[in-house]
């Protein structure tokens, strides 16, 4: 399957250690900019109570759900133990200051 890249925004439009949301394929996706300018993307819902992950606090390579502080890893979408669950992740890339998201 070939990757379908879509332009999301300019990297500078996402402040470091914050996120923005985009809608693609009827899904809301949280796009995170880490403090080292890496960009990660997850479906914008915690598997626990559907908390909006884009509003969570970024801690290293994790985001903490703003509702109940569940820790979700930004690389694989897995919830940290003792909690359980997983969120869909999306590949990202930055080219010439532009953020792209792969829908698969």
Compute the distance between CA of residue 1 and CA of residue 52 in angstroms, rounded to an integer: 29
| pLDDT the model gives residue 30 | 98
9-12, long-range: CB < 8 A, 24+ apart: 9/98, 9/99, 10/97, 10/98, 10/99, 11/37, 11/39, 11/94, 11/97, 11/98, 11/99, 12/97
pLDDT value, residue 1:
43
- The pLDDT score that the predictor gives to residue 91 is 96
Q: In degrees rounded to 5, what are phi and psi of residue 87?
A: -120, 145
pTM of this structure = 0.93
Please report the pLDDT score of residue 103 as a whole number.
85
Q: Cα–Cα distance between 104 and 15 in angstroms, integer?
A: 26
CATH homologous superfamily of 5-102: Rieske [2Fe-2S] iron-sulphur domain (2.102.10.10)
Q: Rounded distance, CA 46 to CA 65, Å?
A: 7
pLDDT of residue 25: 78
| Under 8 Å between Cβ of 89 and 42 | yes
Tokens (6 digits) for 93: 């890339």
Query: Residue 24 pairs with which residues in a beta bridge?
Result: 27
* Series of mean pLDDT values for 10-residue runs along the chain (104 residues): 81 96 91 96 96 96 96 97 96 96 87
């Amino acid at each position: 399957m070939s990757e379908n890249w879509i332009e999301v925004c300019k990297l500078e439009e996402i402040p470091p250690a914050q996120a923005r949301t985009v809608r693609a394929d009827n899904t809301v996706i949280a796009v995170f900019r880490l403090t080292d300018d890496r960009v990660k993307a997850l479906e914008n819902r915690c598997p626990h109570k559907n908390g909006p992950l884009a509003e969570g606090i970024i801690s290293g390579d994790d985001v903490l759900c703003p509702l109940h502080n569940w820790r979700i890893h930004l690389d694989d979408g897995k919830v940290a133990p003792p909690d359980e669950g997983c969120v869909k992740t999306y590949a990202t890339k930055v080219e010439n200051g532009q953020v792209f998201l792969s829908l698969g």
